[in-house]
Structure 1
């Protein structure tokens, strides 16, 4: 039996246990993660006694409630244990489709396990189970040359578990999102992730001043690149050195580097130059505005 439960009525202990024990765990479905991004505006489809879960973020406009997945929440869908049938998955999918849905994205494992058609949204990942020196000899030529050349001497690269330099860079140098409310949500989310010791900020400094910074979530077996920013008056591709730093540090530890995208050509080619593999996601919509 699948039932729809409001956020306020969830058994959070059972919900968290189901998610943690699922074969397709994603931090995006954590109740605290969704609470921050949606102001606790989400319901959940529950199979029996929390045998499987499907979070449904929503918004309300002119009194109408519709499903809408928030920014910084790339993949949701059904989270379940090993013995979960395609028939059950289709039941969840059918219930979703009875709602007004502006945007909802199933997770990679849902697409793989249940062969969802028309999965076209792109994610890119890199398994870090390799020898670093052997790996760098196989990446794209221009990326390899950048890494071998290294950063100019005036720059240094540092790691922190509580730095938020990328937020400051976004506010100062990215006018198109400076006053965007999603930036406030991002900051609240980052604070919570850091409080839970799940965040890594990698920054590049010039004479002690941050010129580029990326934020990674360390969750399950994934290093998720949630956000990155740089000073706009530099021609150096700082992200090359940040990504290389992460790869070099975390090789042979059973982890996956998750680039969180992308279908944007330039970003896609950058990620591919590190040998990132494509993973496809299915977006469902029956309302577009």
Structure 2
């Protein structure tokens, strides 16, 4: 039996235990991450006594609850001790019948009979750094061999949120709208305050030219942002920063590139020779949402 629990009804101890013991464990489903990214606007679907759980984040438009993955939250879906396609279908069916869904991503472990759109993601699994580096593409290895002048006049540092913010805000690209920037910075700031997220910076002649933001939890290190001064892209500071994090963590942690849909980003990620791990996503157009909203009104299903 699948039940829907609102945020205040969730037993977070049982929820965390289910997530910790699940085959699909992801940092993006943890309470802290969802609290930060969704501002506590999430609830769960739960099977029996937390044998399986499915977090469901939402936004409100004109007072209407609409399911939507928060910014920087790539994958959610069903979490259980062993991935079960039949159970996953039951969760999916419950979700479709009881919610208005704008965008909801399952995780790369969830097997589904229903054919959903797949999106790309790339992972490097734990191994010795030497073996991981040996798999890098010849081009990526060349990029990591910095010129002597660059080596002499550069350094890598971990920096705080305020220093990172000064660099990130003018160098963040790919936003759908300007109003998204404060929300990204809010997520970065809160994650940094809780010690999940850190900023690594590449300095050249004492000036920051690259910053990456990495989030660490659940034996994963996720690349939540790469920011570059466009005038110094050819120096490959971003590659050096990512390689350093991989070198320091890959023996015990999965490195998650968190994306790869854009051709130039995919090409950059593939240079590290990660594994392709696609994940299913449900998406609805505004027209489809409006149509379903009408049917929900008739059935009295909106809550």
TM class by smaller structure: 0.7 to 0.9
Provide the aligned C-alpha RMSD in A: 2.4
Hey, what does 1:87 align to over in structure 2? 86
TM-score, normalised with respect to structure 2: 0.84
Assess if the C-alpha contact under 8 Å between 1:172 and 1:178 holds in 2. no
Corresponding position: 1:18 with 2:7? no
Change (3 A) 1:178 1:34: same
Corresponding position: 1:45 with 2:45? yes
Unmatched segments (≥5 aa) in structure 2: 288-303
Change (3 A) 1:44 1:131: closer
User: Alpha-carbon deviation of 1:190?
Assistant: 2.9
Corresponding position: 1:55 with 2:42? no
Output one character per residue of 1:39-75: Cα deviation in whole Å (capped at 9) or x when no partner: 2222210112222111111122233222111111000
Hey, what does 1:246 align to over in structure 2? 245
Hey, what does 2:290 align to over in structure 1? none
Change (3 A) 1:22 1:137: closer
2:139 to 139, 142, 145: 142
Hey, what does 2:77 align to over in structure 1? 77
Assess if the C-alpha contact under 8 Å between 1:166 and 1:228 holds in 2. no
Output one character per residue of 1:195-241: Cα deviation in whole Å (capped at 9) or x when no partner: 44333322111243322110111112211101121222223222111
Name the stretch that deviates more: 229-238 or 219-228. 229-238
SS at match of 2:102: strand
- CA–CA separation in structure 1 for the residues paired with 2:132 and 2:59: 45
- CA–CA separation in structure 1 for the residues paired with 2:172 and 2:41: 29
1:121 to 119, 135, 138: 119
> What is the aligned residue count?
283
Match runs of 1:1-289 below 5 Å: 1-82=1-82, 85-98=84-97, 99-111=99-111, 114=112, 117-132=115-130, 134-149=131-146, 151-159=150-158, 162-163=160-161, 165-174=163-172, 180-235=178-233, 236-251=235-250, 253-288=251-286
Assess if the C-alpha contact under 8 Å between 2:103 and 2:283 holds in 1. yes
Change (3 A) 1:95 1:270: same
Change (3 A) 1:211 1:178: farther
Assess if the C-alpha contact under 8 Å between 2:28 and 2:74 holds in 1. yes
TM-score, normalised with respect to structure 1: 0.87
Unmatched segments (≥5 aa) in structure 1: none
